[in-house]
Structure 1
Amino acid sequence: MSMYKKIAAGALALALGLPALAQAEGKIRIAEQFGVVYLLLNVAQDQKLIEKHGRKQGIEIDVDWVKLSGGAATNDALLSGSVDVVGAGLGPLFTIWDRTRGRQNVRAVASLGNFPYYLVSTNPAVKTIADFSDKDRIALPAVTVSVQARILQLAAAKQWGKEQYKKLDPITQTVPHPDAAAAIIAGKTELNAHFGNPPFQDQELAGNPKAHVVLDSYQVLGGPSSATVLYATEKFVKENPKTTRAFIDALVEAAQLASSNPEAAADAYLRVNKGNIDRALLVKVIKDPKVQFKVAPQNTLGLAQFLHEVGAIKNKPASWRDYFFAHPAVDTGS
């Protein structure tokens, strides 16, 4: 059965109230999305690091990989039992953490590193978010729930006040990053802005002379932030301690490789994604001093508490540890 059929079956089981597909220790199904923010997963897949660290735990691990787009899709896949771990932004994490407290108790297992996310526009009149009008269209991976959508809401709250945090929501559209980047570069559709991630934002800036940065996520969040994370249900983590440990250990090794050998990491990305991105541009993105590969989260609590303040989530986390599983590799987080 293909992974996509498994996801559909899982979703059907959820809809019918049937038990989710059970998984024994030694099996992990991982849903990722698009971009260099998922580089650690790409390296782990290319180098078979999860399998390697599984053998160190005395088990053989069967790893399944699937690509999805948008936090809503990844959250649906996780709750349906179709996948075990998903990679998505902080926005979808906070949504699912909030909604599953006392039930599936979804929390993050690791960060994928710190990456600046740029809101890029091709409209020369748009210098700041205050310049957007109802004629503009901003692409992002999932309206309302994606981390880009949530950061945009935080920026709007800072610009116009918390009661206006949704001010720009009406001009946002759900578009996968590759499609949005292609539209921005071509400049022939109604989409004239994209809140993306690397390397798509870098391709846009290099590929369209009108493209320019309107907003940097680091500016909104007050510094480097782990905007993309990996999360799972409490049931999976508790029932699969060796598999979970091997997974995190694999990420730690992948982070070390990406930091010490950007060229090798770029080649792994290209092999896994089979994309048409220019290798030199990709290496430049990976070497960007603003990009930091590590599994411990950084600067995540502020966005979570903002979402509680405006009523987007019901539960207010007192600490980042409330929405992360405990593990030595993430112990220095924030």
Structure 2
Amino acid sequence: MAITYKRNTLTLLAATLGALLSTGAQAEGKISIAQQFGIGYLILDVVRDQQLIEKHGKEQGLEIKVDWNSISGATAMNEALLAGALDVVSAGVPPMLTLWDRTRGKQNVKAIASLGSMPNYLLTNNPEVKSLKDFSDKDRIAVPAAGVGFQSRTLQIETAKQFGNDNFKKFDNISVSLAHPDATAALIAGGSEINSHFSSPPFQYQELEKPGVYKVLSSYDVLGGPGTFNVLYTTEKFHDQNPKTYKAFYAALAEAEQIIKADKPAAAKTYIRVEQSKLPLALVEKIVADPEIDFTVVPQRTFIYAEKLQELGVLKNKAQSWKDYFFEEAHGGAGS
């Protein structure tokens, strides 16, 4: 049985659904996966490059057809998942928790695994900004999804800590939705209204090479240590109706983690090859080897988001532990 890979770069939800609904998601022996862009998806790049899902499927006597897609933005991801156009999607912890919250008792969306822990830095080129308290209405903070994305939710949690829960949206009014590459260009060039950027790897590494750009805050500061950035998630229906495919997928993710940790230079080359990235190999190797980054399927400090976002009223449902919003296959690790 031939293995077919399809990689679509889609930004409009209509195009996403139109292109994907025809793939026939949710059938044992088939899996449709969507990832976003960046080094945070290295585990998936290794899975794809080495055909690990197919490998673990064959160990169960199952030929698995894998459909790979690339989509920009958690909103498009979530809509495609709920429409049945995709089996597995990926995004930051807060967008996943939002969908878990909204689908309880219905599609019952839960996380499959972490894609790794990596810090996101809030950077600025404004020399007068040394801490959150120094931001004014004259500043503009670029984030991928103002008010709702990983970076914005992280900023809101820290803002609540420093200014009180009633003021957790204090910086939403100076936040601007802008893709990471555009925000990076603006911060490095200077002279625009965008003088700050809640960034992520690899972009924050490029920005910090520019004199006058420095870190105000790390997501690790907010979480009190290393924390999961992106996760994979799916519906209860796909999980329950495709046990062999799901098992093969989870095993592939776990093996990819070990492959990366065993040979990080090779993993960096895999990223450039699979993503067709134009980043210098030395920079990608630096990121993969960064001691602050851990490419692991085990969730870390995700429950902080669940607790704080429920406390702030963003989530209606209260999770008792991280296991409430992760499927049981992930429960064996020392997650949090």
TM-score (norm: length of structure 2): 0.91
Listed one character per residue, the Cα deviations across residues 307-331 of structure 1 (whole Å, up to 9, x for unaligned) are: 1111101001010011000015753
- Which residue is equivalent to 1:333? 335
Listed one character per residue, the Cα deviations across residues 197-227 of structure 1 (whole Å, up to 9, x for unaligned) are: 1111111112x21211111111101111112
Alignment partner of 2:248 out of 246, 249, 259:
246
Cα displacement (A) at 1:96? 0.4
Structure 2 portions without partners, runs of 5+: 1-5
Alignment partner of 1:8 out of 5, 11, 14:
14
- 2:328 partner SS: coil
- Tell me, in whole angstroms, the C-alpha distance in 2 between the residues paired with 1:97 and 1:152: 21
Quick one: which amino acid aligns to residue 192 of structure 1? N
- Superposition pairs of residues 309-324 of structure 1, within 5 angstroms: 309-324=311-326
- Which residue is equivalent to 1:282? 284
- Tell me, in whole angstroms, the C-alpha distance in 2 between the residues paired with 1:298 and 1:188: 38
Is the contact between residue 10 and residue 80 of structure 1 (CA under 8 Å) also seen in structure 2?
no
- 1:327 partner SS: helix
Alignment partner of 1:296 out of 295, 298, 302:
298
May I ask how many residue pairs the two structures share in their alignment? 329
- Which residue is equivalent to 2:124? 121
- Which residue is equivalent to 2:3? none
- The yes-or-no answer on 1:259 pairing with 2:252 is no
Quick one: which amino acid aligns to residue 8 of structure 1? A
- Tell me, in whole angstroms, the C-alpha distance in 2 between the residues paired with 1:281 and 1:232: 32
- Tell me, in whole angstroms, the C-alpha distance in 1 between the residues paired with 2:77 and 2:133: 31
Give the CA RMSD over aligned residues.
2.3
- Which residue is equivalent to 2:150? 147
For the structure 1 residues 105 and 121, does the alpha-carbon distance in structure 2 shift closer, same or farther, using more than 3 Å as the test? same
- 1:66 partner SS: strand
For the structure 1 residues 33 and 10, does the alpha-carbon distance in structure 2 shift closer, same or farther, using more than 3 Å as the test? closer
- Which residue is equivalent to 1:137? 140
Is the contact between residue 121 and residue 199 of structure 2 (CA under 8 Å) also seen in structure 1?
yes
- Which residue is equivalent to 2:229? 227
Percent of aligned pairs with the same residue?
Answer: 53
Quick one: which amino acid aligns to residue 83 of structure 2? S
Is the contact between residue 97 and residue 106 of structure 1 (CA under 8 Å) also seen in structure 2?
yes
Cα displacement (A) at 1:186? 2.7
Listed one character per residue, the Cα deviations across residues 265-302 of structure 1 (whole Å, up to 9, x for unaligned) are: 10111012122212111111111111112111111111
- The yes-or-no answer on 1:110 pairing with 2:116 is no
Listed one character per residue, the Cα deviations across residues 242-282 of structure 1 (whole Å, up to 9, x for unaligned) are: 11111111111111111121111101110121222121111
Listed one character per residue, the Cα deviations across residues 48-98 of structure 1 (whole Å, up to 9, x for unaligned) are: 212222212221222222222222222122112221111110110111000
- Which residue is equivalent to 1:25? 28
- Superposition pairs of residues 46-57 of structure 1, within 5 angstroms: 46-57=49-60
Alignment partner of 1:98 out of 96, 101, 106:
101
Is the contact between residue 97 and residue 306 of structure 2 (CA under 8 Å) also seen in structure 1?
yes
Is the contact between residue 125 and residue 187 of structure 2 (CA under 8 Å) also seen in structure 1?
yes
- Tell me, in whole angstroms, the C-alpha distance in 2 between the residues paired with 1:330 and 1:231: 17
Quick one: which amino acid aligns to residue 303 of structure 1? Y
Is the contact between residue 7 and residue 83 of structure 1 (CA under 8 Å) also seen in structure 2?
no
- 1:97 partner SS: helix
TM-score (norm: length of structure 1): 0.92
- Tell me, in whole angstroms, the C-alpha distance in 1 between the residues paired with 2:65 and 2:190: 43
- Tell me, in whole angstroms, the C-alpha distance in 2 between the residues paired with 1:270 and 1:189: 31
